[in-house]
Amino acid sequence: MRTDRTFTMLKPDAVEKGHIGAILDKINASGFRIVALKLTHMTTQDAKAFYEVHSERPFYGELVEYMTRGPIVAAILEKENAVDDFRTLIGATNPADAAEGTIRKLYAASIGENAVHGSDSDENAAIESAFHFAGREMF
Ligand code: RTP
Ligand code: MG
């Protein structure tokens, strides 16, 4: 059996609304082990680099503004099939399309402010984890 890792951020809207505890509880209850965890505030440079893949999209500027307007919670999560299972747990990008019981259905306001990030591949999970955490911060 393979044990995989994914990377997540509880975005500024989730932190502002006081949902850190509830979301981490749901993540734990869904079988993910927290391997790394911190409250941090992305700079504009950080957010631009993290979402570089979307730099040509019309929402890029808004996305960078949103992701830098307050602190986020960054975490690395471990579970068999972590990337896909976590994307299932968070639900569709637009909370209006997200399945009942998913984190975005429960806590997200809109497609732009959607409470939580989940890596979309094992490769990106590793890149995004290294973006936010030093090796000594992963357990
Ligand atoms: P994420 O990367 O944050 O886990 O989200 P995702 O894969 O479900 O969606 P993605 O296409 O990667 O988009 C990244 C984030 O950009 C914002 N967004 N806004 N206004 C819009 O139409 C729009 N579309 C995307 C969201 O915050 C989305 O999570
Ligand atoms: Mg994405």
pLDDT of residue 92: 98
Per-domain residue ranges of the chain:
4-137
* Catalytic one of 19, 41, 54, 117: 117
pLDDT of residue 1: 46
pLDDT of residue 54: 97
pLDDT of residue 48: 98
List beta partners, residue 6.
77
113 backbone dihedrals φ, ψ, rounded to 5°? -110, 85
Q: Please state, in angstroms and as integers, the Cα–Cα distance from residue 115 to each residue in 27, 37, 77, 135, following that order.
A: 13, 17, 17, 26
Ligand 1 contact via 63 beta carbon (within 6 Å): yes
**Each residue's pLDDT expressed in tens, for the chain with a length of 139 residues:** 457 999 999 999 999 999 999 999 999 999 999 999 999 999 999 999 999 999 999 999 999 999 999 999 999 999 999 999 999 999 999 999 999 999 999 999 999 999 999 999 999 999 999 999 999 999 9
What strand order describes the sheet that includes 116-118? 33-40, 72-79, 4-10, 116-118
Ligand 1 contact via 111 beta carbon (within 6 Å): yes
pLDDT of residue 32: 98
Active site residue 117: yes
pLDDT of residue 2: 56
Ligand 1 contact via 139 beta carbon (within 6 Å): no
Place of tokens 């602190």: 71
Q: Among 3.30.70.580, 3.40.50.720, 3.30.70.141, 1.20.120.1200, name the CATH number for the domain at 4-137.
A: 3.30.70.141
pLDDT of residue 90: 98
| For the CA of 114, the nearest atom of ligand 1 | 27
- Among protein residues, the one with the nearest Cα to ligand 1's atom 19 is 112
> Please, how many CA atoms are within 13 Å of residue 20, restricted to the half-sphere of its CB?
14
CA of 136 to the centre of ligand 2 (A): 26
Write the burial class of residue 56 (CB in 10 Å: 0-12 exposed, 13-18 middle, 19+ buried).
Answer: exposed
Sequence-separated (6 or more) residues with CB below 8 Å from residue 65: none
